[in-house]
Structures are given as structure tokens and as C-alpha cells.
Amino acid sequence: MPAIEISPAAHRILQLPASLLQALLLLAAGAAFLWILRRRLQLLRAASPQPRLDRPGRRLLRLLVIGFGQARQPRYRLAGGLHILIFAGFLILSVRSLGLIGEAFAPGFADFGPAYAASKDWVELLVLAACATAACRRLLLRPARYHDRHATESHAREALLILGLISTLMVADAVYDGSGLGLRGETGGWREPLATLAAGLLGGSETTLLRAHLAGFWVHNATLLLFLCLLPLGKHFHVLTALPNVFFSKLEPSGAVKPPSYREADFDSLESVGVGRLEDFGWKHLLDAYTCTDCGRCSDHCPAYAAGTPLSPRMISLKMRAAAYAHYPVFGPVVPPAERPALVGETIGEGELWSCTTCGACEEACPVTIEYIDKVVDMRRRLVDEGRLPATLQKPMAALEKRGNPFGKTARQRGRWAEPDGEEEPLLPALDPGEAADVLFFTDSAVAFDPRLQRTAAAFARLLRAAGVEAGHLGRDEVDSGHEARRFGEEGLFLALREQNRAALAERRFARVVTTDPHAMNALRHDYGLERPVLHHSQLLAELAADGRLSFSPLADRRTYAFHDPCYLGRHNGQYEAPRRLLAAIPGLRTVEMERCRNRSFCCGGGSLYLFNEVECERRMGEIRLEQAVAAGAQVVVTACPFCLINLEDAVKTSGREGEIEILDLAELAARAAGLATPAAASGG
């Protein structure tokens, strides 16, 4: 036992007993923290309802995997690894930090035994190293991800401040521990390297050691409380909100968009729709904004950002948070909506909102499960309600309303794809009301009317016929699925289209629905809630191949094929395997994977109404994607979505790669391999 009492609890500071000082500090910091937090919660309470308490078991699981398990961090090796270290350190050291607070009241409170002391010392060392590396990255390497093209201010300073505070905590604790070792005349050795190092640096004088001991203690405790109060002022709020945010995250499939209102089921009787001001967001969407760590992974994966459109998803969160902090200030009254800049149109530009393809790459990448698609759709709903629809979209939207397809074609023309010139019988019969088929082929508008896509439908129909599948389509009774109408915010139009399709479907008997358009599949599954199974043609074809009802022979060419995962097939509906199984069923087909494949797939530019929606950009998404395919060594890109086909074929032209690389739909490839003749491709578009 040392000659003097070394616990800080026994030492007065500025004449004050340690317990009193600590109590005062706690009180002050606690009051400040609660005051700020109250303001933050006030906005959440003013926000719209959002039911996020259902299925607690699944929520807990998500919390464990994505929250505590940090499952999404390793996508970025270095940054993710560092974060896992810092997070683990945070968990281990929070015990220590609480111990040190208690130490001011009860000597020995912070003593959790030698094993803990050793592990926390090592962790501190690692955290310090992680902080230093992170600071170097911020200061020296400056990864592009941290500098958003659209950002008006840099958050590097805040990041450095926080890293500094964390380092201060580590160093202060090391000094405290090291001086404690010295005062007790002990050595830590390799068990406590950091404390030992500090002890070595401090030397042997008892007074110095004691001073350092007390200084380390109070610096640590004061910094900790300061840190706590700083959290809800900046991006490190996530330290507190990230875990709840993961717990409350969206459990519905990402392809399902939120309803316009959770309170009122009848769309027409809503007083207002969509989001026009901060409080119109659901509370969880505002919690998202508090939680965004500004890591930039969303924008790093966002095709719209890569293409140089006005959109950067991260900026949506940051701008929402800045607006939240400005309109619900820590001091002073809440700014009334009339005095704020318009949230939609000013704070968040219309161009940003119309640039999003709802591909979901951002949501898949975000380590703290922040949602974007629902927010974008909600803001678009408001724009549409106010008549602010981009001019190029007005015609297709009106055509959807009047004619049931964005091209303004007549219903009579809808089934014509199945009657190509030179065929005696239709490739697939149109089912009249009351008729039945095993499989109902839902074409959706683009496939029904675009001559290029009609060829994919024809190839698919030939495959169905060859496999002896009893199938039919809705003919002139089908209208657009409304998938994009809904995602462009025109909910009323979507509901009207859905009603027509539901009626057409109800009049016919079938066991399963199949579609070559993942968007239509997504609509039928998640927007329509169709009871019967809805398959993508890749699934049905893979099934037919597995059952031996379709057989393929090797293709004559020796080219390399790559599969491009369509967003609404892969990310939004989790179907990565069926198309690959189908490719594998073609003997001798040489395939490669692109770097961004499966759930990291890169959107080709969006479908349906997106074809009409020309947003300003530097490069087209399709061109970027094509380059990725070329980089992977592909000579043929196989897609499974009509719009991927259109966009990528367009990219082949615009990047002057005609003859170098070919784009094919799975059905076309399968028809080739099955030896089913398809008429030669017409040149041009």
C-alpha cells in the first residue's frame, strides 16, 4: 500500500471535495445534455407518425447484426475496420468511463480487476492508433468519399475535433493509470503497455505523479461530459442514435414504398400528401437525419451521384439535419414554417429529387440503415400535388392516365407484340375474361410497345412454347403497372392503374404470374400484394431448365458474358441466383462477374418514366455501367430487365462500342441457346 491516498475521491480540487465537484459537473453536463436533447425530441414529437415498433424480435436481430455486429462496415476495409475497432473500444471503454465517474464518489469504484485493466489498456492503445490513422486519412489521404461535390461546408473539422476528444480521453486515462502504477510502485509491463509507457514518461517524483494522476482523472471526466454534450450538436449524435436507428429501421422489403399516410387509408380524403416541410416527415426519417454519420457511403454507391446529377443522398440527410437544428434551435423559439426556406425546392432541390432512380444502392450501403427512397418519394408526392412535375414527364403521365401507358399508344396495340410479322399464330394467346392459363405473362408497357423490347417478349414467349408451358397474357386489358407512377409521386394515378389491372387479373384464372420486367414484378408483389406467386422470367426459365423442359446447347461464340443485376430484381427482391443458374445451364458459357455485382450492382439509369426524365448529368449511368462491364472483361452483358437493356444498348452507341460489346436479355440468350430462331435484329434503335 502506498503511503498516501491516491484515489481522486480523497483530494479536494479548488477547495471542493471531489464528490461535490463531480456531482456539480454531472449536474451541469446532464442539464445541458437534456436541454439539447429535449429540443431534438421536440421535432420528433412534432413529426408524422411512423409505426416502427412491430416485430420486436426481428428488430432486435437487426440491432445485433447491423448495430452491435457492425455487419455493414467491412464493405470498406480500412474505414470499416477502423470503425469496428473504435466501436468495440467504445463499448469496452464506456464501462471504464462510468467507473471513473463513480471513482469520484467511492474510491476503488473504477477497479474492475486486472483482467479488465489489461484489456482496456490494450483497447485504448488500439483506439489511439485508430484515431491517429483516421486523422491521417482525413488530413493527408482525404478520400474522395468525404468530400461531397455538393457540400457547401466541410465536416472535417468536426471529425478532427471528435477524434481529438477521443484521443484526449485515452491519453488522460493512460496518464491516470500510469501515474497510479507509479504511485503504487507497480509496473504494468506488457499487460498494460499504455499505462506503463505513461508511467515511464512521467518519471518517479511522487508529487508529479500525484498531480498527473489527479489531472488525468479530471481531464478524463470533464472531457467525457463535454463529449456527451457535444454529441447532439453534430454528426456524432450517431453515437447515441445509431443503435436505436437500426432498431427502428424499415422491416418491409426495400422495394415497397411507404403509404402516403399511416393514419388515413383513403388517399382521396387526405388533406395534404407527401412531405413539404420538416414535420411532414415521419419521426424515424428525422431520426435518420440525426443519425447520419456523414460517412458518404450512400453517395459513393449512388449512381446518380456518380453520373454527376444534382443528387447526393448523403446531402439529403445533412440538409435535413441542418434544417432541423436551425429550425429547432437549442436556444430560442422554433422557427415557424412560413419563415423557413422551402424544404422541397429550396433546401432540397427539385433536380435532386427527380434524379433518384430508387435503385436502393444507398440504403444497402448505409451502415446505420438510413432510408432514402421513401423520403424521395414522399417529397415527390408533394411536388406532384402542387403541380410541379418536370415538363418532359407531363406528357407520359397524361398518357398513363388517358391511355394506360406512357407512350400514348392505344389499348388495341397492346397485345400486338405477340403477333409479329410472319407468324401465323400469336406467340402467346391473349386471355379473354373467364379464360385460364397456368402462367400469366404480365408484359407491362415498355415491353408491350417498344419494338426492341417486343423482341425480348417474343423470345420469352417462344421459350414458353418450347417448354410446353400453358401461358397467356392480358392483351388489351392490361395497363401499366404504375410502378414508376407511384415512385414519381403520382399516387392517385398509381391507384387508378392498379384498380384496372386488379380487375383484369381477377377476371382470369392462373396459378402464377411471370414478367420479364423486374419493376412490374416488384409492383405486383409489393404494391399490389398479389396473392399468387409473381415470378421473374429468370426464375421460371431457370426452373424449366432444371426440370429438363428446356435444354440448351453450347453457343457457337467464344465470348465472355457478364450478368448485370437489375436493381429491382436483386437489391429490392433478393433474387441473385436464378439468372446465374440459368447462365450456368448453358453449357460452356464463359462468364465473369463485374466488381459491382449482386447487392452492390450499379443502376443503369432507371426505367419506365425515367426514360422520359432527362436529368442534367455529366455522364449517363448506362455508360458508367458499360465501362464497368468492359473492365470486367465482358463482351456480352446479359440483363434481365427491359430498361437495363435499353439503357445499356444506348450506352454501347454513345460510347462508340458498337461491334465490341453486345447487350442481351436473358430470354434472348436462352432462346439462342435453345436453338429457337428469333428474327434478325433490326438495325438502329
Comparing CB distances to ligand SF4, the nearer of 138 and 297 is 297
Q: Is residue 314 at the binding interface for ligand SF4, with CB under 6 A as the rule?
A: yes
Taking the alpha carbons at both ends of the chain, their separation in whole angstroms is 89
Comparing CB distances to other proteins, the nearer of 252 and 658 is 658
Give the C-alpha separation, 255 to 243, whole Å. Answer: 24
**Closest listed residue to residue 251, CA positions, set 58, 6, 523:** 58
Give the C-alpha separation, 141 to 640, whole Å. Answer: 39
Q: Is residue 395 at the binding interface for other proteins, with CB under 8 A as the rule?
A: yes
Counting Cβ atoms within 10 Å, is residue 151 exposed (0-12), middle (13-18) or buried (19+)?
Answer: middle
Q: Which residues, other chains included, contact 381 with Cβ-Cβ below 8 Å and sequence gap of 6+?
A: 260, 273, 274, 275, 489, 491
Residue 97 contact, options other proteins, ligand FAD, ligand SF4, none, Cβ 5-8 Å cut-off depending on partner type: none
Counting Cβ atoms within 10 Å, is residue 476 exposed (0-12), middle (13-18) or buried (19+)?
Answer: middle
**From the CB of residue 54, how many other CB atoms can be counted at a distance below 10 Å?**
8
Q: Is residue 263 at the binding interface for other proteins, with CB under 8 A as the rule?
A: no
HSE-up of residue 248 (Cα within 13 Å, Cβ side): 19
Residue 647 contact, options other proteins, ligand SF4, ligand FAD, none, Cβ 5-8 Å cut-off depending on partner type: ligand FAD
Shortest Cβ 407–other proteins spacing (Å) = 6
Q: Is residue 323 at the binding interface for ligand SF4, with CB under 6 A as the rule?
A: no
Q: Is residue 313 at the binding interface for ligand SF4, with CB under 6 A as the rule?
A: yes
Strands (E), 113-233: none
Q: In the beta sheet, which residues pair with residue 472?
A: 440
| # residues contacting ligand FAD (CB under 6 A) | 7
Q: Is residue 359 at the binding interface for ligand FAD, with CB under 6 A as the rule?
A: no
Q: In the beta sheet, which residues pair with residue 241?
A: none
Candidate list 1, 412, 424, 558; residue touching other proteins; CB under 8 A: 412
Give the C-alpha separation, 532 to 525, whole Å. Answer: 9
Q: Is residue 597 at the binding interface for ligand SF4, with CB under 6 A as the rule?
A: no
Give the C-alpha separation, 124 to 118, whole Å. Answer: 10
The number of angstroms, rounded, from the C-alpha of 287 to the middle of its chain's C-alpha atoms is: 15
Comparing CB distances to ligand SF4, the nearer of 134 and 676 is 134
662 by DSSP, 3-state: which? strand
Q: Is residue 359 at the binding interface for ligand SF4, with CB under 6 A as the rule?
A: yes
Shortest Cβ 360–ligand SF4 spacing (Å) = 5
Q: Is residue 298 at the binding interface for ligand SF4, with CB under 6 A as the rule?
A: yes
Residue 304 contact, options ligand SF4, ligand FAD, other proteins, none, Cβ 5-8 Å cut-off depending on partner type: ligand SF4
Q: Is residue 665 at the binding interface for ligand FAD, with CB under 6 A as the rule?
A: no
Comparing CB distances to other proteins, the nearer of 136 and 265 is 265
**Residue 262 DSSP class:** S
Residue 4 contact, options ligand FAD, ligand SF4, other proteins, none, Cβ 5-8 Å cut-off depending on partner type: none
Comparing CB distances to ligand SF4, the nearer of 159 and 295 is 295
- What is the contact mask toward ligand FAD in residues 611 to 650, using x (rule: CB under 6 A)? x----------------------------------xx--x
Q: Is residue 392 at the binding interface for other proteins, with CB under 8 A as the rule?
A: yes
Instruction: Report the run of H or E that residue 671 belongs to, with start and end.
Output: helix 666-673
Locate 291 and state its grid cell. Answer: 443519425
Q: Is residue 502 at the binding interface for other proteins, with CB under 8 A as the rule?
A: no
Q: Is residue 323 at the binding interface for ligand FAD, with CB under 6 A as the rule?
A: no
| # residues contacting other proteins (CB under 8 A) | 48
Place of cell 473492365: 631
Q: Is residue 296 at the binding interface for ligand SF4, with CB under 6 A as the rule?
A: yes
**Closest listed residue to residue 319, CA positions, set 269, 240, 396, 375:** 375
- Cβ 67 vs Cβ 247: under 8 Å: yes
Subset of 446-475 contacting other proteins (CB under 8 A): 449-452
Q: Is residue 366 at the binding interface for ligand SF4, with CB under 6 A as the rule?
A: yes
Shortest Cβ 501–ligand SF4 spacing (Å) = 25
Candidate list 47, 210, 246, 295; residue touching ligand SF4; CB under 6 A: 295
Candidate list 3, 391, 506, 677; residue touching other proteins; CB under 8 A: 391
Question: What are the DSSP calls for 291-351, one per residue?
Answer: H-----HHHHH-HHHHTT-S--HHHHHHHHHHHHHHHS-SSSPPPPGGGSPPTBTTTB-HH
Determine phi and psi for 441, rounding to 5 degrees: -90, 110
- Cβ 122 vs Cβ 161: under 8 Å: no
HSE-up of residue 80 (Cα within 13 Å, Cβ side): 15
Comparing CB distances to other proteins, the nearer of 497 and 534 is 497
Candidate list 613, 626, 670, 673; residue touching other proteins; CB under 8 A: 613
Q: Is residue 685 at the binding interface for ligand FAD, with CB under 6 A as the rule?
A: yes
Question: What are the DSSP calls for 605-648, one per residue?
Answer: S--GGGGG-----SS-HHHHHHHHHHHTT-SEEEESSHHHHHHH
Residue 492 contact, options ligand SF4, ligand FAD, other proteins, none, Cβ 5-8 Å cut-off depending on partner type: other proteins
Shortest Cβ 286–ligand SF4 spacing (Å) = 13
Residue 293 contact, options other proteins, ligand FAD, ligand SF4, none, Cβ 5-8 Å cut-off depending on partner type: ligand SF4
Place of cell 437489375: 566
Q: Is residue 97 at the binding interface for ligand FAD, with CB under 6 A as the rule?
A: no
Q: Which stretch binds other proteins (CB under 8 A): 83-91, 135-143, 153-161, 388-396?
A: 388-396
Which residues of the shown chain bind other proteins in the complex (CB under 8 A)?
A: 267-268, 270, 273, 384-389, 391-398, 401-403, 407-413, 449-452, 490-493, 495-496, 611-614, 653-654, 682-685
Which residues of the shown chain bind ligand SF4 in the complex (CB under 6 A)?
A: 292-298, 301-304, 311, 313-314, 317, 356-362, 365-366, 368, 370, 372-373, 603
